[in-house]
Amino acid sequence: MLLRVISGRLKAGTWEDFERAYLSAMEDAGAVEGLCGRWLTRDLDDPDAGTTISLWSTAEAMKKYEASDLLKNKIQPRLTPFFTGDYRTSRSAVRHAEGDPAPAEWVGGDN
């Protein structure tokens, strides 16, 4: 399993519009081969910052998605208007995993 993490900042005050656009783009994208899970997180200390986390079955599946028309022509154009350009992408091999990655009480909370 591989983990792809993108952390960054949005233009001030655009989080709610970004989140709507993100959810709509992900819904329209449908199933993506090799994608095992995806999370969107919002920073608790900086409301204009957040992270997307995706879990992939193989490096090949992740690379195929990163090079795909789906990402480049259907997803990114809907999201880039919100970006400041201040972001970082990292890719990691999962070495240990334990527990449920998204208990229901975590999702959508302001904890």
CB 57 within 8 A of CB 34: yes
pLDDT at 11: 97
pLDDT at 97: 81
Residues 6+ apart with CB under 8 A from 24: 78
End-to-end CA distance of the chain: 28
pLDDT at 111: 41
In tens digits, the chain (111 residues) has pLDDT values of 999 999 999 999 999 999 999 999 999 999 999 999 999 999 999 999 999 999 999 999 999 999 999 999 999 999 999 999 888 999 999 888 887 665 555 555 544
- Give the CA diameter of the chain: 37
Which 8-state DSSP code applies to residue 15? H
| Phi/psi of residue 86, nearest 5 degrees | -95, 90
pLDDT at 40: 97
Which 8-state DSSP code applies to residue 23? H
Q: pTM here?
A: 0.84
Domains located in the chain, CATH noted: 2-92 (3.30.70.100)
